[in-house]
Structures are given as C-alpha cells and as structure tokens.
Amino acid sequence: MMKYQYLAVIFVIIMLPISLVFSAYINAQVDTLDLQISYDTKLDNTTYDAIKAFQLNTVNSSTSDIVNSKIKDIEAAANSFFTSLANNFKMEGYNSETLQEFVPALVFTLYDGFYIYSPFENTLDDETKSKLPANATYTGGEEVTGLKPYIYYSCRYVKGSMDVTITYSLDNYITIQGYDQNGKGINDAGYVLDDSLLYNSTTGEVRYRGITITSELQLREYVGDTEYAYVKINGVKYYRNANTNTWFTITNGKINQVATPFRNEDNDMGYRYYKEAYEFKERLKNYGITNLRSSDAVGVQEVQDVDGNIIYSFVDSDNKIFDFNKIEEPDSNFNNHRMAVIRYVIESNLSIALSNYNNYGTGTYEFRMPKLAEEDWARILDNVCLVSFLQGLSIGGKIYNGYSVINNNKNEEVVTENAIYIVENARIKNSTYHRVTHKGLENMVNTTTSRGVFNIDFERKSIGSTTSETTWYFYPHWDLGCYTCYVAQTNTENSINNIYEYLDGLSNKTLAKLYYTALGRERYSMYKVFRNPEEHVNAFKE
C-alpha cells in the first residue's frame, strides 16, 4: 500500500508542474487568439472608415475623376485611416506615429489602376531642383510617406509584327497602345461587348442581345427641392434651369454657371455606348487584336491561390482573349484573362512595396506579402476597394500579420452590373426602386415611365452657398428602396450569378431594355482619361 502512495506522490510531483505549464501555455494561446481577433476587427473598422471617407469625398465632388482631385481624395482617405487606427488602438497604448511604422502599405484600387501609399525615397534631379522655389523644403534622398505613381492594370503582348500594351479596367473598357499586325501605330480605347451587338449604318439601328436600343426620355433629378433636367458628360452633370434657360454644374459642392447651353433633347448616351462599342470591335478586328491569345503576353507567368495551386497560367493558356461570344459574362476568356492581369499586376507590385519597406523600417521584423484569400481577391477584382496591411505588432505568443479588404460599392469610378436599380415610376416623387433581380419586376415596369438609375444617385449630396458657410443636403432622387428586394432581400433571385443569362431568360424584354440602356448610359457618361474632354463636351452643345 505504501508503495502505491509513494507512486501517487511522485506522479503528483511530476505532473503538477507539467499541468501548470500546459495550462499557462493554453491560456497564453487563448489570449493571443483573442488579441488577434481584436486586432483584425480594429483593422477592419479602420479600413472601413477610410473607404467611407473616400466615398463621401467622391460622391460630393464632380471633379473626383480628375487626377489632381482624385489624389487629394485618396490622401484624405489615407489620413482618415491613420487617425482612425490611432483611435482604435489607443487602449493598447499606441499613438498614430508609432502605428504608422507597422503599416507597410495601403493599396487603393481604382478603375484602371491603383495607388500604393507607403514610404519611398524622394529623388530630385537637377532640372526638378532648379524649378523649385527658393524656400522649398524638399531634399533629394529624403524618405517620405505618400502615394507612389499610379500603376495601370496593363499587360504587353507580342505576336508577329504586333506589339501592343493593353490596359484593362474593372469593367469591359480597355485602352490599347502600340503597333498593330501591319506595324501601324495604335492609340485607341473602348468597350468590348457581346457578339450579339449589331449596328446598321444605313438605318442607325442598334440591337444588343436581340433588343433595340434607342434614346430615352430626358433625365431629371433634384438639386435641393427643385427638379432639373440634366445631361451627364465625361463624369460631370450639367443641369438646365427651365425658367432662365441657363445651365449650371455643381463642382465640389458649389453651383457654377455654364455659359454655353447643351442640347435640350432626349438622352442618347446609352445608344452611343452600344454604337461606339460596335465600331470599336470592328477596329479591333482590323488591328488584329482579336487574334491575341494569353500565351502572347510578355513578362507574366502564372497566378496562384493561397495554397500555391495555379489558377491561371499565361504561358500554357492558348485561349483567344477576345472571343466576343458572350465576352461580358463572368466566365468568359476575356474576363478570366482580365482579372488575372489585374491580380498579377497588383500582387507583383505590392510584393515589391512590402519588401522595400524593410529598407525604411527601424525594427527587426521583416515585412512580407501575406497570401490573400480567394474571397478577398474576388472583392478586389469586383470594385473599387482599399487593402490595408498591419504587421509587426506583438500579440503575446506571436507577431501580428494582418490585412483587411473593404469594398466601396457606391462610387463615381466604375459602374458595375449590380450598380443599376430600376425606378418603377420615374415621373413621380417617392416612387419605388428595385434591384434588377426583384421577382416579377419585368411585369411591373414599362419603357414610358420606368427608368434605370445609377445607385450612387440615391445617395445624399451636399451643396454650399456661394455667399455664406451654409450647407444644404439633398437627395437627387426621392425614391424609396423596395423593402422586400432592397432591404430584406427576401423577394429577389439571389442565386443569380449571371445577370445577362437572367435577363435573356425573361419573356418580357422591357426590363432588359431598361437595364441595358441605363448600364450603357452610365458607363458612357463616366470620365475617361483617353477622351479629349473639351471635344467630348462640345459634341453635346447646341
């Protein structure tokens, strides 16, 4: 019996320290996990605050698409990020200056490219120095934190005598520069649309997916409490005051009179979108661009998922990029290639930026590119977004290495397929707007009173007095979102992943015509760098 007691005592002596150590280890791991979850939440909230600031700035700015204004909006969003980050982490004892050392990069993905906000070395050549004022504080070799030059979603292709660089976007708009199959220079841009798009140059008829696209009734929306007719040209809305027959714009929240009036007639932007897309397709055929394959891409290899599996190979893929049969649909060769290019460009440049950050950091932690999950890449490739990184903070048992991806689904940068809502009766106040996939919507609308509206036009905007500091807030559209399809989303076809197939399957084509006309109108009306703004605006003047 004594022998068993001795064994029990020995067991307790041996196991008690082990259990205490093991318990302490488990508690430490739980604390680390709790802290990581807390940091992930704080980073998500901070990133959301920054993208919301960007959204508010761009919604209330008619010049937000112009480069200088866009840079200001992004820099303001970056400042909002670091302010919010400091507020979220103040209980942990971190201030804004300290936290900035643990943020290797912010990535603002936009319509046809992206900005990286991170440290870099400011280099000034002799010519630049000579142009600076005498009291300038810039010095060569200085480490600064700010926006690096804009990086386009571009890829170079070589095929025979053809040598072109194609810049992709978040929709089906592309820009082409280089030399065609005959060695002739190209500098062109446009939308690539489905092969069902037909244009009769004799009659002027445009048909898309079997639907005749025509002009629509003049667009109208509210500024303050007054409803005005308007046209949207290259990202700017021009409103007509019917009482004085004058026109004005709202630029950065201020009303500005326009000297030259615009044509006061039905809106034909949607019609122009499809007509010019057809003409662009014909030019692509003449250039030889339609013969390009993924394997003709230069300097790119493959795109891998988080587990290292190849999800797109540029080298091994022999698919024609510009196969116009259902080219707009999610799984088309064009869209798969477009998204692979965008992902490759972002991933490669971001890896370099994070690697270079180690040259500027003062700590011992080595910053590196984390593997982004596929659902995060899906959000990045779908719309404007902000990707933030926070690395190097101690969370007990390990070093924190986190990132956050937050979309901006309501912006002036891109018109996605989901950004068009259908107003049941656009001629009356407080009508109802619906998602396109509202069940039975095709039987609730007509081409006379119903209209497709860009989702951002339902957002609140501001207008300031030109003589005082007073600011008024208003809604361009006074329509209310349908509760069952917009709010609760209980009366929608939620399983729809392909809006084109869904609309093709409806027997009543009225909804499809409203949707396609609105989608074309809004995309055609957006700001495009390739255009000559003055010539484009003059085309719509009286």
Look at residues 385, 407, 429 and tell me which one is the last residue of a structural domain. Answer: 407
**Residue 334, domain member (yes or no):** no
> What is the pLDDT averaged over residues 420-443?
92
Same domain, 447 and 511: yes
Same domain, 15 and 104: yes
More confident residue, 366 or 109: 109
Q: Is the pLDDT of residue 18 over 90?
A: no
Residue 115 confidence (pLDDT): 94
Within 10 A of 33 (CB to CB), how many other CB atoms are there?
14
Amino acid at 353: A
Q: Tokens at residue 407, please?
A: 């979309």
Which helix (H) or strand (E) covers residue 433, if one does? Answer: strand 432-435
Q: How much of the chain exceeds pLDDT 90, in percent? A: 46
**Residue 258, domain member (yes or no):** yes
DSSP string, 240-287: EETTTTEEEEEETTEEEEESS-B--S-B-HHHHHHHHHHHHHHHHHHH
Same domain, 425 and 504: yes
Secondary structure letter of residue 144 according to DSSP: E
* 496 three-state secondary structure: coil
Write the pLDDT tens digit of every residue in 513-531. Answer: 999 999 999 999 998 877 7
Strand 399-407 and strand 162-167: the pairing is: unpaired
pTM of the model: 0.88
Same domain, 80 and 25: yes
**Rounded CA Rg of the chain:** 28
> What is the pLDDT averaged over residues 107-125?
83
More confident residue, 66 or 520: 520
More confident residue, 361 or 256: 256
**Residue 133, domain member (yes or no):** no
Q: How much of the chain exceeds pLDDT 70, in percent? A: 85
Q: How confident is the model at residue 64 (pLDDT cuts 50, 70, 90)?
A: very low
Residue whose entry in the numeric block shows the structure tokens 């798009």: 197
Could you tell me the residue range of the domain that residue 436 belongs to?
199-274+415-525
Same domain, 395 and 447: no
Q: How confident is the model at residue 276 (pLDDT cuts 50, 70, 90)?
A: very high
Look at residues 407, 429, 451 and tell me which one is the last residue of a structural domain. Answer: 407
Write the pLDDT tens digit of every residue in 233-251. Answer: 988 899 999 888 889 998 7
**Residue 165, domain member (yes or no):** no
DSSP string, 12-50: HHHHHHHHHHHHHHHHHHHHHHHHHHHHHHHHHHHHHHH
Same domain, 55 and 90: yes
Same domain, 106 and 21: yes
Lowest-pLDDT choice from 125-134, 167-176, 191-200, 525-534: 125-134
Lowest-pLDDT choice from 74-78, 290-294, 361-365, 420-424: 361-365
Q: Is the pLDDT of residue 287 over 80?
A: yes
Contact 274, 197 (CB under 8 A): yes
Q: Tokens at residue 390, please?
A: 């926070």
Write the pLDDT tens digit of every residue in 151-183. Answer: 999 999 999 999 999 999 999 999 999 999 999
Q: Is the pLDDT of residue 348 over 50?
A: yes
Write the pLDDT tens digit of every residue in 451-499. Answer: 999 999 998 888 876 666 778 888 999 999 999 988 888 888 877 888 9
More confident residue, 114 or 353: 114
Q: How far apart are CA 107 and CA 8, in angstroms?
A: 61
Q: How confident is the model at residue 125 (pLDDT cuts 50, 70, 90)?
A: low
**Residue 164, domain member (yes or no):** no
Same domain, 15 and 90: yes
| Residues constituting the chain | 542
- The domain total for the chain is 2
Crossing angle of helices 510-525 and 269-287, rounded to 10° = 70
Same domain, 448 and 384: no
Contact 211, 512 (CB under 8 A): yes
Contact 468, 253 (CB under 8 A): no
Contact 520, 269 (CB under 8 A): yes
**Residue 186, domain member (yes or no):** no
Q: Is the pLDDT of residue 508 over 50?
A: yes
Same domain, 437 and 455: yes
**Residue 175, domain member (yes or no):** no
Same domain, 203 and 220: yes
Contact 536, 234 (CB under 8 A): yes
Same domain, 270 and 363: no
Name the nearest CA neighbour of 250 among 226, 279, 286, 267.
Answer: 226
Look at residues 359, 384, 407 and tell me which one is the last residue of a structural domain. Answer: 407
Within 10 A of 460 (CB to CB), how many other CB atoms are there?
11
**Residue 162, domain member (yes or no):** no
